[in-house]
């Protein structure tokens, strides 16, 4: 194994509340820490754990394709790994959930023969279940990135929750925008209507709280109102089931027969 290593960790969603001991240890023991978090206060907090903390935020720019930003972030981290240093990438939420850079960096480091790990963390999905009182085991959940949901032919289950991530940039094909407008959202509503979701169905715009003094955004509205609502990069659209569960009587009968036979 070559000298030099990479650990990509998550700080969780809320400042100081969600970080695990393994993630903290990686940050504290690293030679250099690259940080991409949700709030300047969170970045300052990470800086208090290590003497060499470098922000990845300057790589973002209006009109700059995010694909270029991600490539540059990975390159910056790998440069330090190749120099033989213990590198930690600290990312808000879970480093493997809607996070391109950690996955690419870990894969590249391993391909080049360096030790690389990813530590699990509290994600926005975890907060969503707690804040909205949703148990994914009750009706089931379908999760899609909003633009991917629009770009590809998907068949949704109307009796389960539909969770659309990054709804604020739904339909963006450039990877250079930080928001898309009402016309894009109208196309999404049309797409949902094709699969039976009525425009008067109640949906939820959700954003996890990132500071202890803040509250999560839980804004309920009719689906038809979505084009006029403020949406951020961090906004998730939650669409509750719009059709009841349908029992599979044929399967239930077969299962009953197996049970009766002692199988």
CA nearest neighbour of 36 among 84, 69, 82, 78: 69
CA distance 90 to 102: 9
CA nearest neighbour of 55 among 72, 36, 78, 42: 36
- The encoded tokens of residue 136 equal 């994914």
For the four alpha carbons of 164, 168, 173 and 175, in that order, the dihedral sign comes to negative
Q: Which residue has the tokens 């990135």?
A: 145
CA distance 178 to 60: 10
CA distance 110 to 77: 13
Is residue 114 within 8 A of residue 79, CB to CB? The reply is: no
161 sits in which H/E element: strand 161-165
CA distance 13 to 124: 6
- The encoded tokens of residue 247 equal 């029992």
Is residue 33 within 8 A of residue 42, CB to CB? The reply is: no
- Catalytic site positions: 66, 70, 92
């Amino acid at each position: 194994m070559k000298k030099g290593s990479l650990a990509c960790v998550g700080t969780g969603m809320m400042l100081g509340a969600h970080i695990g001991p393994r993630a903290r240890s990686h940050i504290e023991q690293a030679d250099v820490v690259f940080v991409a978090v949700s709030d300047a206060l969170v970045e300052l907090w990470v800086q208090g754990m290590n003497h060499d903390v470098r922000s990845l935020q300057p790589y973002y720019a209006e009109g700059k394709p995010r694909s270029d930003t991600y490539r540059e972030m990975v390159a910056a981290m790998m440069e330090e790994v190749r120099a033989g240093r213990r590198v930690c990438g600290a990312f808000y939420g879970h480093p493997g959930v809607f996070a391109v850079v950690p996955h690419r960096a870990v894969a590249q480091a391993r391909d080049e023969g360096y030790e690389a790990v990813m530590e699990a963390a509290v994600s926005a999905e975890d907060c969503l279940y707690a804040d909205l009182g949703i148990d994914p085991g009750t009706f089931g959940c379908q999760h899609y990135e909003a633009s991917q949901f629009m770009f590809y032919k998907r068949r949704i289950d109307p009796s389960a929750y539909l969770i659309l991530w990054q709804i604020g940039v739904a339909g963006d094909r450039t990877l250079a925008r930080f928001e898309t407008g009402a016309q894009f959202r109208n196309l999404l509503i049309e797409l949902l209507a094709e699969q039976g979701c009525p425009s008067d169905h109640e949906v939820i715009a959700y954003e996890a709280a990132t500071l202890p003094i803040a509250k999560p955004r839980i804004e309920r509205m009719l689906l038809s109102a979505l084009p006029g609502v403020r949406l951020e990069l961090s906004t998730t659209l939650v669409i509750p089931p719009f059709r009841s569960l349908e029992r599979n009587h044929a399967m239930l009968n077969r299962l009953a027969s197996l049970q009766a036979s002692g199988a």
